[in-house]
Structure 1
Amino acid sequence: MDGDLNEDERLRTMAETFDREQYELVEKARNGDAASFGELVRLHRSRMLGWASRVVRDRATAEDIVQDALVQTLRKIGRLEQPDKFLPWLRTLVRNQALMSLRSGWSRNETPDRFEEGDSPTWSSPAGWHEAVDDPQAEAIGRLVAEDLRMLLSRLSPRDRAIAESHLLGGLSVREVAAQRNMTDGAVYTAVSRTRKKLEEARYEDEIERYAAARRISGRPAARLCERARPYALSGAYDTMAAMMTMTAAAAGRRNVSLTDVMGATGHAFRIQVAPDLGVSGPYAYDWADSLRLGWRGLGYDASVFGGAERRLRRPDELVTAMDALLASLERGVPAVAWNVSNTEFGLIEGFDDGKRAWIVTDTSAAGKTLPYAKLGRLHDDAEWFAAVPTGRLSIDRAAHWIELFERTARHMRGDDHTGTRTPVSYAIAGTAAYRLWIDAFDRQAAADALGAAYNAAFTYEARKHAATYLLAMAADGFLADVCPAALPAVAHAQKLYAKVAALWGNVSGLFPLPFGADPSAPGPADRAARLLERACAAEAEAVGALQEAAWLLARRRTDGRNGFSYNHFQKNQKRL
């Protein structure tokens, strides 16, 4: 309610300052001027998205609501009597559309292949324009959109095109189309759902065709392969993001960067997160974009990042924007790290071929495979969208990076991500809570997923080995001794503890070996694993406390006590672990 009151107050303020230019835009839009309507959309679309998001709490659904609300605006703006009341009127349309979406229970992106009697698909285009032929605005803009839609529909089979034209352009209900064509409602719904998917593909393909044509005209290279990328150099690593970043760094000229360097810089060496079912998805349940940025910054690079964990590619322009950065990097000989280029792991985009409209990709399952441009981030319906490239070089403040890394590690073990929220990915369970989940499952002999147990154990064992090696190198590096010799004992203590944790996880991994694993619910192995993890959890909590101490000492030395850190703050957070 407070949010609505604040928004009402903002609307009143905006209405009072509704300038003459916007007033004239509304007037022209009411009289059928397409350019004015487009300018109003540009000015207020983000505000409409905010209004919708407050109701539905989901970005993708909010986008759909805004699209539907724009259709309503298009049809009804001619009836708006007071142009200076445009914003409150627009907000009402958006809120009503959002409330209708909540009542319907599902969004257009959840359209099933078949529908029950009485359902109706919520994704449809501006059906109903045929009812508004007297509305000059609808006639002006609707004609243009309808022509674009007809061009897309021309790619369909005659039967699907006829159904889509009746429903989308003719405005007939599904039941009316079914009666007209002597079909069942379910068959019409299936055809409409199939059409939606085909039109979605056509949108991406058309956008990419225009983009590729522009590249050709501008004289950009038509194909390139990053010869310096060595896709199988680290093929045995379980942490595929870190492996791909290491190969990318080598291709960018940093051949002295090891997998341990990347595991440490990203914080992956110190992470543990699980899915509630303790399955194989747990190790990747973190904020990919944030982790990668931290890692590249620690290695001395800025980065361009697109998408992230639990993000979906929604619009063709998002892909084309990313392509600019990805292709520019590939032209320099530097590959891109991307998710799900062939399987559900991180891989490399190591080349491109404009003639084939395809990326050349490699991951743990395939080498030198082609992936259509339009399928990046869209390899299957539920694909998550993520791609990233290092860009400019940065000067490295190693002490500042270590402080951030150690503090993040402590927050992670408490179950807090870098923003202080509980989990960076909606289903992730992190830190000591992840340990407790494993221990409880083994005690109850309830860890039924043999592959999940084996994969998580191998993944964490690998990470902790890198943690111990990373800290050993840090303690041996003369830089830390020069910057803050007082922090050396804390780092050395943490290193010994992480070596102990790695050995304990190695024992757990030995109980449930890959590739097939063993029964994690068997009484003997389950009890043994629980006791090993209790010891690992205690040792890791102590290690993280030592890292926090090192971070505090480094920060105090850097700023001479004026940095906001305090020993009481350090002790308080150490107790929480």
Structure 2
Amino acid sequence: MDHPFDLKDLLSRIRQGDHAAYETIFNRYRAAAMSWAQSVVRDPYSADDIVQEAFIRMKDKLHQLKDDHKFAAWFRLMIRRMAINSIRGGDSRRTIVIEEMPESGPANRGRSDEIREWQEQEASAELVRRSLAKLSKQARDVLDAAASEEATPEQLADRYNMKKSNIYNILSRARLKVNDERFREEIAAYLLERETHGHPNCCLLPAPTYSRPYAFISAMIGEALGTADITNFTYTELMGISAEAFRINMPENCDWQGILTFDWSYAAYRTVERLGFSGVCVGRPQQTTVTPDIQVRMLSVVHGSVDRGIPAVIWNMERNEMGFAHGYDDRSQEIRYKGYNGETRVYRYDQLGRQTDERPVFVFGLRRRVSPPSSEDTVLRAIVDHARGKEPPLKGYVFGLDGYRVWLEGARRNTLDLSGHAYQVAILAEARQQAAAFLELLADRSRGADRRTQLLAAADCYKQVSKWFVRLYPRFPFGYGGSPANRWRDIQEGLQAAWDAEEEGIARIEAVIAGS
């Protein structure tokens, strides 16, 4: 993994704020970092959250590393400590500070690590024991026999002289009750620690507004920052710097429920990094379970963001919806939430991540400004990287320009989800309009004639893409008129034209980068 001839140079450039060097280190060490984190938390989604935050923290703390050749060991220990901390409940204030970490790293497992892991296992076992104690004796006996003896429902029905259906009900209700109790216990322990550290027990921020489409994480981040009067980025700048103006996510057959599915944490971290801020998030696509420790980590993100005066962004608190958590009350254990439709709702803490069947939930909280915004070339490289599909993969999804291929295949097979198709073209028509505006903005700021010419040419390409999507949007109610054959032909021709125009636009952006 280590490249001794350039590692020191890369780390030096990162300390100087070089985003390209940071991306190189990220790509080089991400797989190893995932392995280090997953060896502790045992959950790939939790591990991914830890790794994303670790890379942000690494950049902030890198000046403390005295010997660059020991970077891998130093970073591995950082991730391990963060992973152990996440098991304890996710409060980043409890993470052991980097100054206390030996640079040599844990080459051999120490006695303290073994004791710590044993303590974590004992704490988990004790939690289960307390949960079971609140069940009826009959439910405890049935559950114990099913677990320890691996007795079948038929055997349990004979033993307790009950109907098999009653056994199923007892097992189901007992497991749900134990599970609910585990969530309540974890939340109670977390709130007790907040109280011990003197944190406020309630906070209510003004309800954020929704001046822009709710489908874009960058728009939500902008609204959150605007609520706190932290920054004055325009909507066009947010869409461009985040690269969301150029994003395309394509599920098979353009299924409407998957159009907004991508690695939200990756996108959010990259967005705030390019804006010059730090943040923390929990939640990954295709994460089908929410454990008590994950729920507490989500709650910690909400608390931390609101305490800083910034609403937290939440995805899927309501089905397929982005919204804000802008207040909390530890006494009643309630979160104040506002969805894109303008309604303010209240949710219990133990509903966070468990409110809908359409999991997973994603929670993102902003922290503070840590650096100037990224350079224009860094943003342009991020745009090209997405177009070329260079981002964390998800099973069943295609990202970037290759999404057009999947989209067209669905149209040619007549298998498109037409509701999803309508939703997608509406989102992308708005996004590509902002892409053209962003490129024109960069052209206006450009000092070189060639760069300006290429950027304006790219902007024209994205104007054409937006126009094609406007044409592709079906007339009410999701109809195209004419024969079915004409409908599919129009969709195919429009998609191909949009694809060709966007390919040319990306080629123009690549020419700008090459000429820098």
| Alignment TM-score, normalising by the size of structure 1 | 0.64
Alpha-carbon offset, residue 211 of structure 1: 2.0
Cα distance in structure 2, aligned partners of 1:61 and 1:493: 43
How has the CA–CA distance of structure 1 residues 61 and 290 changed in structure 2, closer, same or farther, with 3 Å as cutoff? closer
Cα distance in structure 2, aligned partners of 1:144 and 1:246: 40
**Which is greater in Rg?**
1
Counterpart of 2:485, as a letter, is P
SS in 2 for 1:391: strand
Alpha-carbon offset, residue 335 of structure 1: 0.6
Equivalent in the alignment of 2:514 = 552
Q: Indicate conservation of the 8 Å contact 2:208/2:311, yes or no.
A: no
Equivalent in the alignment of 1:468 = 436
Equivalent in the alignment of 2:210 = 232
Alpha-carbon offset, residue 300 of structure 1: 2.0
How has the CA–CA distance of structure 1 residues 455 and 359 changed in structure 2, closer, same or farther, with 3 Å as cutoff? same
Equivalent in the alignment of 1:495 = 459
SS in 2 for 1:277: helix
SS in 2 for 1:371: strand
Alpha-carbon offset, residue 354 of structure 1: 0.9
Cα distance in structure 1, aligned partners of 2:400 and 2:302: 34
How has the CA–CA distance of structure 1 residues 142 and 379 changed in structure 2, closer, same or farther, with 3 Å as cutoff? closer
Aligned positions of 1:134-213 closer than 5 A = 148-156=127-135, 159-168=138-147, 174-185=153-164, 187-213=166-192
Cα distance in structure 2, aligned partners of 1:551 and 1:313: 42
Between Structure 1 and Structure 2, how many residues are aligned?
A: 410
- Identical-pair percentage: 24
SS in 1 for 2:406: helix
Counterpart check, 1:297 vs 2:259: no
SS in 1 for 2:385: helix
Equivalent in the alignment of 2:390 = 417
Aligned positions of 1:522-561 closer than 5 A = 522-554=484-516
Alpha-carbon offset, residue 456 of structure 1: 0.9
Aligned positions of 1:353-502 closer than 5 A = 353-365=329-341, 367-381=343-357, 383-399=359-375, 402-414=376-388, 416-418=389-391, 424-447=393-416, 449-477=417-445, 480-481=446-447, 486-502=450-466
SS in 2 for 1:317: helix
Alpha-carbon offset, residue 184 of structure 1: 4.6
Shifted more, 544-553 versus 302-311: the winner is 302-311
Alpha-carbon offset, residue 195 of structure 1: 2.4
Equivalent in the alignment of 1:269 = 245
Equivalent in the alignment of 1:31 = none
How has the CA–CA distance of structure 1 residues 187 and 49 changed in structure 2, closer, same or farther, with 3 Å as cutoff? farther
Alpha-carbon offset, residue 527 of structure 1: 1.4
- CA distances 1:196-246 after superposition (whole Å, capped 9, x unpaired): 23212211111111222333344322221112x423333xx1524233212
Aligned positions of 1:51-66 closer than 5 A = 59=44
Match of 2:286 among 310, 315, 319: 310
Cα distance in structure 2, aligned partners of 1:217 and 1:470: 48
Cα distance in structure 1, aligned partners of 2:245 and 2:178: 44
Alpha-carbon offset, residue 508 of structure 1: 0.6
Consecutive unaligned residues in structure 1, runs of 5 or more: 1-45, 63-140, 555-577
Equivalent in the alignment of 1:558 = none
How has the CA–CA distance of structure 1 residues 552 and 183 changed in structure 2, closer, same or farther, with 3 Å as cutoff? farther
Counterpart of 1:406, as a letter, is L
Cα distance in structure 2, aligned partners of 1:368 and 1:287: 27
Alpha-carbon offset, residue 267 of structure 1: 1.1
Q: Indicate conservation of the 8 Å contact 1:287/1:308, yes or no.
A: yes
Cα distance in structure 1, aligned partners of 2:335 and 2:214: 24
Alpha-carbon offset, residue 397 of structure 1: 4.8
C-alpha root-mean-square deviation of aligned residues, in Å?
A: 3.3
| Alignment TM-score, normalising by the size of structure 2 | 0.71
Q: Indicate conservation of the 8 Å contact 2:45/2:287, yes or no.
A: no
Q: Indicate conservation of the 8 Å contact 2:45/2:283, yes or no.
A: no
Consecutive unaligned residues in structure 2, runs of 5 or more: 1-34, 48-119
Report which structure shows greater RCO (CA 8 Å, sep ≥6).
2
Alpha-carbon offset, residue 340 of structure 1: 1.3
Counterpart check, 1:336 vs 2:300: no
- CA distances 1:432-472 after superposition (whole Å, capped 9, x unpaired): 3321233333344332x331121111011111111111111
Counterpart of 2:278, as a letter, is D
How has the CA–CA distance of structure 1 residues 238 and 488 changed in structure 2, closer, same or farther, with 3 Å as cutoff? same
- CA distances 1:463-495 after superposition (whole Å, capped 9, x unpaired): 111111111112112xx32xx554222211111
Equivalent in the alignment of 1:517 = 478
Match of 1:285 among 261, 265, 275: 261
Q: Indicate conservation of the 8 Å contact 1:303/1:390, yes or no.
A: yes
SS in 2 for 1:355: coil
Equivalent in the alignment of 1:72 = none
How has the CA–CA distance of structure 1 residues 171 and 250 changed in structure 2, closer, same or farther, with 3 Å as cutoff? same
Q: Indicate conservation of the 8 Å contact 2:275/2:373, yes or no.
A: no
Q: Indicate conservation of the 8 Å contact 1:505/1:532, yes or no.
A: yes
Match of 2:220 among 224, 233, 244: 244
Cα distance in structure 2, aligned partners of 1:272 and 1:302: 25
Q: Indicate conservation of the 8 Å contact 2:316/2:358, yes or no.
A: no
Equivalent in the alignment of 2:16 = none
How has the CA–CA distance of structure 1 residues 459 and 307 changed in structure 2, closer, same or farther, with 3 Å as cutoff? same
